[in-house]
Amino acid sequence: MRTGVEIRLSPEDCKQLEAIVASRNSPQKHVWRARIVLLSADGVGTVEIQRRTGKAKPTIWRWQRRFMEAGVDGLLRDATRPGRKPTLAPATVERIVAMTLDGPPGEATHWSGRTMAKAAGVSHRSVQRIWAAHGLKPHRIRTFKLSKDPKFADKVQDIVGLYMDPPEHALVLSVDEKSQIQALDRTQPGLPMKPGRCQIMTHDYKRLGTTTLFAAFNVLDGKVIGQCMSRHRTRSSSDFSTGSTERPRQTWICI
């Protein structure tokens, strides 16, 4: 046995270690650790313990020392290991984030992972990890436009106020347009679907003009009321008159 190693077992420790070795439910790593301690307590040398357990000398010495320091409980738990060291220094990470926020150099529209990796002197994967950790997506761009209308703020307040506090017995309608509706047709009739083949259509098409879709969505029953017209234009309220002299129960406000 190695010099300086002296293992003495109490009856309770000996009983507990033998139970670990004999149990079929014990993890194998606990079994051979217990056997190392039992053999050491019987005065068996390191070389013989190595032959019986199949473990290297440093492993045997480590668990002998662990038992001497922490007893049987020390054999049943693994020592905590230090976490993985960061591959990049914090200063490098901060520099990459700052470069990303400043925008790409030259005439490039945005940073790519490889251009940033080359500029920062790190790997492509490191750049991807840094961007993911900081929620940066240079390849994605959202557009916006500020209105030049001097009364834009007042109009926004009026519209938002209409939604938040509409007049009594009023029905508020939100109107928007769907542009670029074209009437298209294929240049040749398509072939129908059949077993083993999907429906086939020609890749080219012909334009048959444009149409304007007027539609409304009834939120009560989910019904869509729609009508297509060849053009759209304003019409006076008299064109929609029902001819009734009775005062309407609701006021329709279109915005």
Task: Specify whether 166 is located in the same domain as 213.
Answer: yes
Structure-model confidence comparison of residues 125 and 245, the more confident one = 125
The reply to whether 151 falls in a domain is yes
Whether the pLDDT of residue 248 is over 60: the answer is no
The reply to whether 43 falls in a domain is yes
Signed CA dihedral, 212, 217, 221, 222: sign only:
positive
Q: Which of 158, 95, 101, 104 is nearest to 122 (CA)?
A: 95
Report the percentage of the chain scoring pLDDT > 70: 84
Task: Specify whether 130 is located in the same domain as 103.
Answer: yes
Signed CA dihedral, 134, 135, 141, 146: sign only:
negative
Task: Specify whether 129 is located in the same domain as 158.
Answer: no
Task: Specify whether 105 is located in the same domain as 61.
Answer: no
Please state the φ and ψ torsions of residue 243, each to the nearest 5 degrees. Answer: 80, 0
Task: Specify whether 154 is located in the same domain as 129.
Answer: no
SS3 content of the chain, % helix, strand, coil (to 5): 40, 15, 45
The mean of the pLDDT values for the chain is 81
pTM: 0.36
Q: Give the Cα separation of 159 and 174 in Å (integer).
A: 10
The reply to whether 158 falls in a domain is yes
| pLDDT band at residue 245 using 50, 70 and 90 as cut-offs | very low
Which residues constitute the domain of residue 217? 147-188+204-230
Please tell me the predicted confidence (pLDDT) of residue 3.
63
The reply to whether 197 falls in a domain is no
The reply to whether 152 falls in a domain is yes
Looking at 23, 44, 75, the residue that finishes a domain is: 75
Task: Specify whether 156 is located in the same domain as 140.
Answer: no
The reply to whether 113 falls in a domain is yes
Mean pLDDT of 116-123: 91
> Which tens digit of pLDDT belongs to each residue from 151-173?
999 989 988 888 888 888 877 77
| pLDDT band at residue 244 using 50, 70 and 90 as cut-offs | very low
Whether the pLDDT of residue 80 is over 80: the answer is no
Task: Specify whether 157 is located in the same domain as 223.
Answer: yes
| pLDDT band at residue 2 using 50, 70 and 90 as cut-offs | low
Q: Give the Cα separation of 219 and 103 in Å (integer).
A: 45
Please tell me the predicted confidence (pLDDT) of residue 93.
92
Instruction: Give the lowest-confidence range in 127-136, 148-157, 236-245.
Output: 236-245
Please tell me the predicted confidence (pLDDT) of residue 85.
66
Please tell me the predicted confidence (pLDDT) of residue 4.
62
The reply to whether 247 falls in a domain is no
Task: Specify whether 162 is located in the same domain as 220.
Answer: yes
Please tell me the predicted confidence (pLDDT) of residue 235.
60
β-sheet bridge partners, residue 215: 226
The reply to whether 240 falls in a domain is no
Specify the number of domains making up the chain. Answer: 3
Whether the pLDDT of residue 240 is over 50: the answer is no
Token readout for 143 is 């557009």
